[in-house]
Amino acid sequence: MYLARRLVLAHFWVAFAAFTVAIVLGEWQMFVRSPLHSWVDNPEHYYRSVTAHGTVMAYVFPTLIAMGFGYAITELALKRPLVGLRWAWIAFWLVMAGTVMASAPVAAGKASVLYTFYPPMIGSAFYYLGIVLVVVGSWIWVALMSINLRVWKKENAGATVPLAMYGNVAGAYLWAWTSIGAAVEILVLILPVALGFKDKIDAGLSRVFFSWTLHAIVYFWLMPSYIAFYTIVPRAIGGRLYSDTMGRVAFALFLVFSMPIGIHHLFADPQVGAGFKFVHAAMTGMVSVPTLLTVFTIVASVEIAARLRGGKGLLGWVKALPWKNPMMLAVTFSFIMLGFGGAGGIINMSYQLNETVHNTQWVTGHFHLIFAGAIVIMYFMVVYELWPQLTRCPPLPERLLRIQLWLWFIGMMVLTMPWHLVGLLGMPRRMAYFDYTHPALQPQAWTVIASTIGGFLLVLSTFLFLFILARAGHSTAVPAPFTFSVAVHPHARTPAALNTFGLWVALMIGLTLINYGFPIAQLALLEGTSVPAIPIGGR
């Protein structure tokens, strides 16, 4: 790396420091609502904790990882120093300032509105302003990624953009457009009320704006992991990437289809018409396509690695895989969790099936399995892969890495599978306590204890992760140059459409306008839809 070493390191340390606080809060929540603890005396403390956990895990942590990894990719894949280092540091400090600004009112109980805001609940204006700062910081990152690609293209006219950078910039553009929904919600609808200029808020319209962000943000979280699947995994396990083109297609499809689908979060909302709910459900089905393409391509790449190591037979090659390699383990765990989580997601997106699981623990199980499971386990691997580049440390102890990954995988399965089960039985999410003495609930009590144990394993895994990084040590030796995966046919011609973003960004914007334009315009023009705000923690 050239200039970005300290920058990337700062992003990763802050991301995981926040992550550690949030994961301990998450485990506390599980513990106090389990039969292992008496009912929490003050349920507000529970919601305060949920707000902090969600805000950090949804906004701060993945944003910092995507930004840090993005800067690293820019230097490592483009093989040139980062342009705009000073701006990158400004963006970092904006995110830091925003995090502190948003956390303080949450800690003080002045903004227990959950990270999804839920108007007409209105918390302290500082909470929303803090989140705006985090998002503005990330927008600087988006601009820097775009500028760096442009500078590189000028210097390398006609060359193919490295796949890692293609995915990285796709993620940046995705985020730029995705974050607009929540930004409009906060700036236009929530802040005037939080600052006291208005008493009422259009809760229905706010929710539609938030849904614009709420689903696509998941694909912003997911991008770094998919970049790792395509550009790091095959190399790390000694194979070749089966298809570079497939990676580009997957990233392009995420750009096009991740946005115009958010209304599937509003299936139970009366203010949105049934027709739009169906269209969004159908398009949500489309985002399974890039994921299925990715699973196919990565499994094919893994098979190449196995066959290069002498694996034979229809399935016999599986035995020849480097199972002691932490990356092999991580990608396997990630795909298992992605499989369960993805199957659950297809149930959630279906208009009718959603009725049975809407607002239950099933949903919590689903997104923890996908994000905290399949995605975060790859964040760990990204950090492990980059650590020798960032700190010039000797190779990390593989045995500890494997233990950490096993703990995370087992912990996540033990946490989320019981959630899925009780969700189907109807257990609502976001409850501070359950009456386990009630005969209808008593049989479900064990599941909450199981999830608490799963959560504890995740906390252990987090501390082991920090321990591995902290004792990795330093050396003055310059690390071996970082390499990305090489495709089976490395010099295949890349079509212009997959070397640029214009077509996909145009489709993304066009489709969003078609799918969101009418519901937003109609709700915005409809009169008498505002309701009195409910200030939280005001007295």
The minimum distance between CB 132 and another protein, in angstroms, equals 23
Has 226 been annotated as catalytic? no
Number of residues that bind another protein (CB under 8 A): 54
Has 358 been annotated as catalytic? no
Has 429 been annotated as catalytic? yes
Token pair recorded at residue 106 = 């949450």
Q: How far apart are the first and last CA of the chain?
A: 52
41 sits near another protein (criterion: CB under 8 A): yes
Token pair recorded at residue 154 = 């000028």
Q: Helix 5-32 to helix 376-391 angle, to the nearest 10 degrees?
A: 150
278 sits near another protein (criterion: CB under 8 A): yes
Marked catalytic residue, from 31, 45, 429, 463: 429
272 sits near another protein (criterion: CB under 8 A): yes
Q: Are strands 531-532 and 200-201 parallel, antiparallel or unpaired?
A: antiparallel
496 sits near another protein (criterion: CB under 8 A): yes
443 sits near another protein (criterion: CB under 8 A): no
500 sits near another protein (criterion: CB under 8 A): yes
SS3 263: helix
> Which residues on neighbouring strands pair with residue 531, listed in sequence order?
201
Q: Which stretch binds another protein (CB under 8 A): 136-144, 400-408, 433-441, 444-452?
A: 433-441
39 sits near another protein (criterion: CB under 8 A): yes
Marked catalytic residue, from 219, 333, 379, 434: 219
Has 351 been annotated as catalytic? no
Marked catalytic residue, from 251, 367, 409, 465: 367
Judged by beta carbon, residue 193 or residue 372, the one nearer another protein is 193
Longest CA pairwise span in the chain (Å): 71
Has 368 been annotated as catalytic? yes
Q: Looking at 195, 346, 431, 492, which residue binds another protein (CB under 8 A)?
A: 431
Contacts of 119 (CB under 8 A, 6+ apart): 185, 189, 190, 193, 201, 202, 203, 206, 207, 533
Q: Looking at 12, 59, 434, 516, which residue binds another protein (CB under 8 A)?
A: 434
The minimum distance between CB 42 and another protein, in angstroms, equals 5
> Which residues on neighbouring strands pair with residue 360, listed in sequence order?
428
Marked catalytic residue, from 207, 215, 248, 265: 215
CA distance 531 to 241: 54
Burial bucket for residue 357 (CB in 10 Å: 0-12, 13-18, 19+):
buried
Q: Which stretch binds another protein (CB under 8 A): 402-410, 417-425, 476-484, 493-501?
A: 493-501
Marked catalytic residue, from 126, 368, 380, 434: 368
Binders in 189-218 for another protein, by CB under 8 A: 196, 199
Q: Looking at 6, 438, 471, 489, which residue binds another protein (CB under 8 A)?
A: 438
528 sits near another protein (criterion: CB under 8 A): no
Would you tell me how many other CB atoms lie within 10 Å of the CB of residue 344?
21
44 sits near another protein (criterion: CB under 8 A): yes
Q: Which stretch binds another protein (CB under 8 A): 306-314, 331-339, 401-409, 434-442?
A: 434-442
CA distance 129 to 135: 10
Has 420 been annotated as catalytic? no
Q: Looking at 24, 295, 347, 441, which residue binds another protein (CB under 8 A)?
A: 441
Q: Looking at 315, 440, 470, 480, which residue binds another protein (CB under 8 A)?
A: 440
Contact indicator for 105, 124 with CB cutoff of 8 Å: yes
Amino acid type, 125: A
Binders in 72-91 for another protein, by CB under 8 A: none
Judged by beta carbon, residue 319 or residue 438, the one nearer another protein is 438
353 sits near another protein (criterion: CB under 8 A): no
Amino acid type, 147: I
Q: Looking at 81, 275, 313, 517, which residue binds another protein (CB under 8 A)?
A: 275
DSSP state of 531: E
List, in sequence order, the alpha helices (H) in 258-287.
274-286
Peptide bond into 120 cis (omega under 30): yes
Contact indicator for 382, 15 with CB cutoff of 8 Å: no
CA distance 529 to 286: 33
Has 399 been annotated as catalytic? no
CA distance 220 to 106: 25
Judged by beta carbon, residue 2 or residue 518, the one nearer another protein is 518
Burial bucket for residue 431 (CB in 10 Å: 0-12, 13-18, 19+):
exposed
Tell me how long the chain is: 539
Would you tell me how many other CB atoms lie within 10 Å of the CB of residue 51?
27
The minimum distance between CB 44 and another protein, in angstroms, equals 4
Judged by beta carbon, residue 11 or residue 48, the one nearer another protein is 48
The minimum distance between CB 280 and another protein, in angstroms, equals 9
Contact indicator for 523, 202 with CB cutoff of 8 Å: yes
Active-site residues, by number, are: 215, 219, 366-368, 429-430
Residues lying near another protein in the complex (CB under 8 A) are found at: 38-39, 41-44, 158, 160, 196, 199, 256, 271-279, 282-283, 286, 431, 433-435, 438, 440-441, 494-500, 502-504, 507, 511, 514, 518-519, 522, 532-539
